[in-house]
Amino acid sequence: MIHIAKPYITDAEKKAVLEVLDSGMLAQGSRTTELEQQFAEVCGTKYAVATSSGTTALHLAMLAHGIGPDDEVITTSFTFIASVNSIFYVGASPVFVDIEPETFNINPEKIEAAITPKTKAILPVHLYGHPCELDEIMKIAENHGLVVIEDAAQAVGAKYKGKPVGGFGTGVFSLYATKNVMSGEGGMVTTDDDDIAEGVRMLRNHGMKRRYYHEMLGYNFRTSDLHAAIGLAQIMRLGSMTQARKKNAAYLNKHIQGVITPTTKPYVEHVWHQYTVRVEQGADRDAGVKQINDQGVGTGIFYPVPAHKQTYIQKRLGDIHLPITEQLAKEVFSLPVHPLLTSDDLEKIVSAVNALERI
């Protein structure tokens, strides 16, 4: 079976972990600081602050910006649930707008109509590694005095008009095991703002600036040097791993037939966390996925149930209709695009997709 994702682990990661184990300093320390510095350099930001997961990074970014009860955050429903949960964690409410069918990202043309006196922030998600329309989003935010928190969990290294994502608003990244840069588990907040960086540092560590002096209610959302060591080995190979993903995606785009292949806007750098295709409207996506799986090719559906259709969110917010989101949730599925694919793997993926019987 060709797996949909496969962590790219080399001797460098193993050596780095063993060095930390041998050092006896396992908790957050010098390796974490070094990873933060490398991550900030990749994103072109003044600061990067490591956390225990992408979800905790989102949570702390919300808190550091003072988002809380009675506030509203405009975002997309077509995302992993952590994007939305982070809004609920701080007592705020998500306001969903529909997406662009070509990129699966939040449609900036829908944002302004969703702004109310309670709106505090916009949370765009760079889904699958394709950047959102950041010029338009940042302009709307500036005009209305809103915070922008970029959910770049799947988009490390992606660029919008030459500038790395995570450097427009406050950036949030995931270092989960299947991400383009991974540490097993972890997250990162990027910012140029001194106060936001300091706030996230304190919030992740029980509200402390110095040991045992607690200045605010904080959390234990630290990472460890074991995780950071893996992340450091990974980020050193980000360029080559991204190029491999791009090459694989280009091959799939060129050779796949019978499904709708992804669109990339000409002024962005897509990093292909997922290679996501669509079946034609009305086709049986699940039957097609089964046929491909039966040929030994793994797939993923990201995401079969949009956030606004999740039971607990419907109970909170009531019935919401987002026609493009709901349509695409029935049509999308992802194919392997990770750097460890061989030429034989790519041929097998194309063959399995192009052999689809009528669905």
> Which are the catalytic amino acids?
179
Helix-strand-coil split of the chain, %, nearest 5 = 40, 20, 40
Residue 259: burial class (beta carbons within 10 Å; 0-12, 13-18, 19+): buried
Rounded to 5°, the CA angle 129-118-215 comes to 80
Which two structure tokens, joined as six digits, stand for 19?
């060095």
CA torsion through residues 228, 233, 235, 241, sign = negative
CB 59 within 8 A of CB 86: yes
- Where are the strands (E) in the chain, listed by range? 47-51, 72-76, 93-97, 119-123, 147-151, 159-160, 163-164, 170-174, 187-191, 208-210, 213-214, 268-269, 275-278, 332-335
Counting every residue, how long is the chain?
Answer: 359
Residue 276: burial class (beta carbons within 10 Å; 0-12, 13-18, 19+): buried
**Tokens 């797996």, located at residue:** 3
Cα 71 to Cα 91: distance, rounded to the nearest angstrom: 8
| Distant-in-sequence, close-in-space partners of 132: CB < 8 Å, separation ≥ 6 | 103, 105, 106, 108, 124, 125, 126, 150, 160
